[in-house]
Chains A and B, each alone.
Chain A
Amino acid sequence: MKTLAELEAIRKATLSRINMRTEEKSETTRVVIGMATCGIAAGARPVMLSFMDEVEKRQLAHVQISQTGCIGMCRLEPMVDVILPGKEKVTYVHVKPDMVPRIVAEHIVNGRPVEEYTIGAAEKN
């Protein structure tokens, strides 16, 4: 059984992690997932939860996961934008949960976008 005591422990662990976070917004990496009707129907929910799992697993303090609406390219959903501080936005398309660990490891942690998953690669075909 999940208990409120466990939640209290999670709160404390999270607080210490938040304290490590730099105050500056410019240090934050943003992960934005399309969660409108089209994104949800295409499978955005497990993708978002996979990002959450990876961030929790690796204890990444500086990553913020958020949702956005439909941006009009429904055929490319699930779409995920990754914005590293000071870098240009990278858009991943047709994202599946099993692609998420690679995006987190190679792009968010090591700063090298996974080219083959990006909208640029998808639109070339």
Chain B
Amino acid sequence: MKEIALHLLDIVQNSVRADASHVDIRFLLGADGVLEMGVRDDGCGMSAELLSRVRSPFTTTRTTRKVGLGIPLLMQNAMQSGGHVDIESEEGKGTEIVAYFVTTSIDCLPLGDLASTMASIIMGSPDKPEFAIRCASPAGEMSFSTENIRPVLEGVSLAEPGVVQWIKESLEEEIEPILGGIMK
């Protein structure tokens, strides 16, 4: 992956597949340059046994092939920057995955186009779950949630191109001042 935002696009599919109703995403950039990317869902969660081997590239829940590279690639890129990945999960309750990136490291990926990622995520799963994102840094804070715009749309799908475009542009405007410094 060339961007941290692409890892988000990939990793969020796990929450969607876990049949979550709410997915909370956060990007918190500290004054020390450490970026915390968190994804918390209320999906089906994992058993202790599955959790213990979920970091392996040879673990996957799909049945067509024996490899699953989403989490291993995320771990590789977080660790390459000097960061790490935490995963907590409880069966029936949900899962939280948190990746830490040391953005001051020369080996850290750029954050990339987070607005495009969010637009793609929402477009791919317009009905369920509800997605919320919060970004914070010393420069400020923003939040956005699909739950808040759904009433305005009165039943029009979030996947309609015009709506997706609005989401993308509105997130671009709001995220840039907060995380613009680590985007490229």
Contacts and interface: CB of A to CB of B under 8 A. Distances in A.
A38 to B, nearest CB: 8
Contacts of A102: none
Nearest to B8: A40
Interface stretch (B31-39, B42-50, B117-125, B131-139): B117-125
Interface stretch (B21-29, B81-89, B92-100, B167-175): B167-175
Interface in B112-167: 113, 116-117, 119-120, 123-124, 149, 152-154, 156, 159-166
A1 interface: yes
A66 to B, nearest CB: 8
B152 A8 contact: yes
Contact of B9 (A10, A40, A66, A69): A40
Chain A facing B: main interface SS: helix
Interface in A1-46: 1-2, 4, 6-8, 10-11, 13-15, 18, 35-38, 40-41, 45-46
A2 B169 contact: yes
A36 B68 CA distance: 10
Contacts of B76: none
A48 interface: yes
A56 interface: yes
B120 A48 contact: yes
B166 A10 contact: yes
A55 interface: yes
Chain A's interface size range is 20 to 34
Given A2-B166, A41-B6, A49-B116, A65 B123 contact: yes
B152 A56 contact: no
B162 A49 contact: no
B10 A37 contact: yes
Contact of A52 (B65, B70, B161, B170): B161
A45 B162 contact: no
B160 A14 contact: yes
B162 A56 contact: yes
Contacts of A70: 62, 64-65
Interface of A: 1-2, 4, 6-8, 10-11, 13-15, 18, 35-38, 40-41, 45-46, 48-49, 52-53, 55-56, 65-67, 69-70, 72
